Amino acid sequence: MAVVQISARIDERLKDAVEQYCKSRGIVMNHFIQEALLDRLEELEDIEDLKTIRHEPTRPLSEVLAELELDGKI
């Protein structure tokens, strides 16, 4: 994976807090920020999935249990 540099303007207090957090836990700030960005992208993807799932019709429990071959086994 190629590594590139990005730039962003953020509140100085936020930068200081991230630096302090990383330093206190021995974390490299670049890694911390990369993981935070990946986590946020995953969250946004999950939100989109939820929007789709909410519009799916529901099914009776008996139908789901029969499909899973669990009828009468619970």
Query: Contact, 38 vs 32, CB < 8 A?
Result: no
**Would you state the pLDDT for residue 54?**
86
pTM of the model: 0.66
pLDDT classification of 26: cutoffs 50, 70, 90: very high
pLDDT in tens, 34-59: 999 999 999 999 999 888 888 888 88
pLDDT classification of 72: cutoffs 50, 70, 90: low
Query: Contact, 18 vs 33, CB < 8 A?
Result: yes
CA pseudo-torsion sign 56, 62, 67, 69: positive
